[in-house]
Structure 1
Amino acid sequence: MTTPAPADGRPRLLMVMPYRQFVRKAQAEGFWVGAVWDPRLESPAYLDDVRALADLYVETDFQDPDALRRTLREVAREHRATVIYHIGREETMVTAHEVAEELHAELNPAEAIRFLADKHAMRDLLARRGLSPVSFEAAPTRREVPGAVERIGCPAVVKPAALAGSRGVFLWQEPQDRATWTALVDAYGYDGPFLVEEYLRGPEYSVETLSRDGHHQVVGITEKLLGPPPLFVEVGHVHPAPLPEDRRRAVEDLTTELLTACGYRFGPAHTEVIWTERGPRIVESQARLGGDRIPRLVELATGLDIEQAIFTALADRPVALSGATATAIVRFFTFPPGRIGEIRGLETIAALPHVDELSLRLSEGDTVPEVRDSKSRHGHVIVSGATAEEARARSAEVLAALEVVIDGTPVRADGRTSVLGTPV
């Protein structure tokens, strides 16, 4: 897929909310990069870095679709953009791709992005194609949700159709859960629309893919480690997932069938699948890379920089995929609420040679916030090992070594409390 070069010899790529590494990696493949951002979505320091890296930096209001459309049209025409691309957060993807299609600067049909960004549209498409059958019902506002839950039957999963990152996803197990669910959506200030689905039981995976000219290559499958209901906040990921060959192939086939049905043509996709007693079932899919540091896990396990590969493919150069030669794990820290008196073990963990990344978003004296979604987790660690067993043992070692004293009680990152230094 070759983009025509303008007068200065570089193809011009206009990106909506490109992260710093996207700007660098696109430029490394020979692209001029224009960056369009909403200043409310990242810190001033972060956006200063993007501004310094990009060939052009523009700010606009992403909450105003008309303003975003107007900005993209004006910037694309003035700076002769040959491609308009968006692989950031889902909320503004459809708008950006509609403008790209209007200006003949698209990599994907806007309809394909709509199917992947809109949970209800995706469920309707799957139902029409007879793929991944799941009982579901749309609820335009919160008032219709209790009735939809009753018709689907408890337990049911209630998803805010217009929120991303697992925000507001809730397992409604009995009628009394209505008060808890109402408090949750109140906290997000969200009134709809919602999607109510049957509760799919089984291990959950994500499939990382790269598409080019409508051909979908599976980069790998990642195992999800989930927290308890009703919120199911992800507490970790393992790449590659330990899957028997027949299950792996079934998960891959269902994922590529979904992407083909959507009309997806180019770029990464992150598709979530649950293996049920009836086989694999699609949870949802997004036209972007997986979050939660999954691209780093892929790189540690396979050697592939999947972010760089996007722009290599866009530059019409081959991308070589290879199987995993190691296992990489990310575990997220989720401590109970309370005031922090002391943090122990960080220096010990940081010195371990198999620790790739370590981040704790808490300091002594802080009040620990409650974890209710992926954005509110308290930090993470990434480890790798030559085998899955070695990687899991190393992850357990780190979680046991990190201890936070909360309201006078030592709590380890593996969830266990301790008395006078002895785990209980």
Structure 2
Amino acid sequence: MTGQGPAPAPTGADDRPRLLMVMPYRQFVAKARAAGFWVGAVWDPRLETPEYLDDVRASADLFVLADFEDAEGLRQTIRETAREHRAGWVYHIGREETMVAAHEVAEELGAGLNPAEAVRCLTDKHAMRELLARRGLSPVAFEAAATRREVPDAVARIGLPAVVKPTALAGSRAVFLWREPADLAAWTALVERYGYDGPFLVEEYLRGPEYSVETLSRDGRHQVVGITAKLLGPPPLFVEVGHVHPAPLPEARRRAVEELTTEFLTACGYRFGPAHTEVIWTPRGPRVVESQARLGGDRIPRLIRLATGLDIERAIFDALAGAPAAPVTPAGTAIVRFFTFPPGRVEEIRGLERAGRLAYVDELSLRLAPGDTAPEVRDSKSRHGHVIVSGASYEEALARCEQVLGTVEAVVDGTPARADGRTGSPV
């Protein structure tokens, strides 16, 4: 049984409601405490740097280490810590791999904010597809393949082109568009790089622009904070290279995307917190791609803050504390663009300081320096840096983003390249 009424207050001098979080990022701890909560944090030391975890430890009221690869050991750590410290809620909005286990323990203890099955629906791509098929929502042809060996036959049954997704990997890793039989070799090489053998989901290829819908739920009611347009790299990998918030959308399309998303979240039984739901607008209308029971990554919360003024991270904990939901109204547009230089040896970086001095640049980060080897961009972790800009309109923000992309250059193997990968003549 889940619930989200007031947490039972502990006895003693500290009467703050008690929130035990699994894998809380440091800003979550700070914002939960600012909203009035006692915060316990459970982390695996292998998942962040010692310096980062020192920051979490300093901010939290309680800091506990656990081995997240030991599923039963993690469950026991959560269970014992929650009982010993009288946690009113146990909550997890970090990475998906351990999310269901944490919510199962929370449900067992009567300290959950969502049914574990609702979280499973949002974190398990296959479970999501099966639910949508049962409900007749967002129909998409799909097949599950338990191992790598079963994928080619599933692709043949779905028909080419087909998208093959590893269901246990995140961050666009090893998502592949299979366009012709000869792609078997390229796909096999890709999954071997990740050492991944399954399971997979094989789906029909959905053609059209892609969006993500950022929502906050409370008592099973879903507030659409906004819709973000995705900028995707070329097939077959579809690595996300940028986001625009809010998406420039016709009103009828915006309503249809919002309605499908909220209907989907209700069908899952999702009750509380953020969700990040990806949708493609196809010639047949909107289709759900996948969803997560967490905030969007890739700096989307920062885009929301710049475009609307809403601190969506703080809003999670304000909602948990019982504060009323505030309306969200865009006042401008914000864009994040990830740098994707060609792979090779970096000889020189140009224009970085000049771009950083532009008044409309909110964040600017480059992970490369002269002498480094720029890796091939094949997932979200291998991108080379990013910039965030904002403007009063979509057109203004886009023009500003283009200016930065044209200002920041790297000379790679003797050839100058813009931050979006376009190359010029050899130096």
Determine if the TM-score, normalized by the shorter chain, exceeds 0.5. yes
Divergent runs of 4+, >3 A = none
Equivalent residue of 1:49, what SS?
A: helix
Contact 1:206/1:272 (<8 A) preserved = yes
Aligned partner of 1:419 in structure 2 is 425
- 1:369-407 C-alpha deviation (Å, 9 max, x unpaired): 111101110110000000110000000000000000111
Q: Percent identity?
A: 78
Aligned partner of 1:307 in structure 2 is 313
Aligned partner of 1:292 in structure 2 is 298
Displacement, 1:420? Answer: 7.3
In 1, the alpha carbon distance for the partners of 2:166 and 2:363 equals 32
Aligned match for 2:130, one of 115, 124, 127: 124
Displacement, 1:278? Answer: 0.1
Aligned residue-pair number: 421
What amino acid maps onto 2:9 in structure 1?
A
In 2, the alpha carbon distance for the partners of 1:417 and 1:161 equals 35
In 1, the alpha carbon distance for the partners of 2:305 and 2:273 equals 17
TM-score (norm 2): 0.97
What amino acid maps onto 1:225 in structure 2?
L
Matched, 1:5 2:3: no
In 1, the alpha carbon distance for the partners of 2:99 and 2:422 equals 41
What amino acid maps onto 1:409 in structure 2?
T
Displacement, 1:338? Answer: 0.8
Aligned partner of 1:250 in structure 2 is 256
In 2, the alpha carbon distance for the partners of 1:417 and 1:178 equals 30
Aligned partner of 1:351 in structure 2 is 357
In 2, the alpha carbon distance for the partners of 1:121 and 1:416 equals 40
TM-score (norm 1): 0.98
Displacement, 1:412? Answer: 1.0
Aligned match for 1:15, one of 12, 21, 43: 21
Displacement, 1:323? Answer: 1.3
Aligned partner of 1:234 in structure 2 is 240
Aligned partner of 2:115 in structure 1 is 109
In 2, the alpha carbon distance for the partners of 1:340 and 1:246 equals 46
In 2, the alpha carbon distance for the partners of 1:80 and 1:296 equals 33
Displacement, 1:152? Answer: 0.2
Equivalent residue of 2:370, what SS?
A: coil
Aligned match for 1:201, one of 204, 207, 219: 207
The correspondence of residues 94-243 of structure 1 with structure 2, limited to 5 A, is 94-243=100-249
Equivalent residue of 2:24, what SS?
A: coil
Contact 2:178/2:236 (<8 A) preserved = yes
- 1:52-83 C-alpha deviation (Å, 9 max, x unpaired): 11111111111110110010011111111110
Contact 2:414/2:426 (<8 A) preserved = no
Displacement, 1:163? Answer: 1.1
Equivalent residue of 1:101, what SS?
A: helix
Matched, 1:387 2:393: yes
In 2, the alpha carbon distance for the partners of 1:143 and 1:79 equals 47
Aligned match for 2:86, one of 71, 80, 85: 80
Contact 2:406/2:419 (<8 A) preserved = yes
In 1, the alpha carbon distance for the partners of 2:371 and 2:192 equals 29
Equivalent residue of 1:418, what SS?
A: coil
Q: Single out whichever of 161-170 and 117-126 deviates more from structure 2.
A: 161-170
CA RMSD of aligned residues (A): 0.9
What amino acid maps onto 2:347 in structure 1?
G
Aligned partner of 1:327 in structure 2 is 333
What amino acid maps onto 1:242 in structure 2?
P
In 1, the alpha carbon distance for the partners of 2:217 and 2:133 equals 23
* Structure 1 unaligned residues grouped into runs of 5+: none
What amino acid maps onto 1:85 in structure 2?
Y
Displacement, 1:415? Answer: 2.5
Aligned partner of 1:318 in structure 2 is 324
Contact 2:415/2:426 (<8 A) preserved = no
Contact 2:43/2:65 (<8 A) preserved = yes
Aligned match for 1:63, one of 42, 63, 69: 69
Matched, 1:378 2:412: no
Displacement, 1:349? Answer: 0.6
Contact 2:338/2:420 (<8 A) preserved = no
Displacement, 1:189? Answer: 1.0
What amino acid maps onto 1:180 in structure 2?
A
* Structure 2 unaligned residues grouped into runs of 5+: none
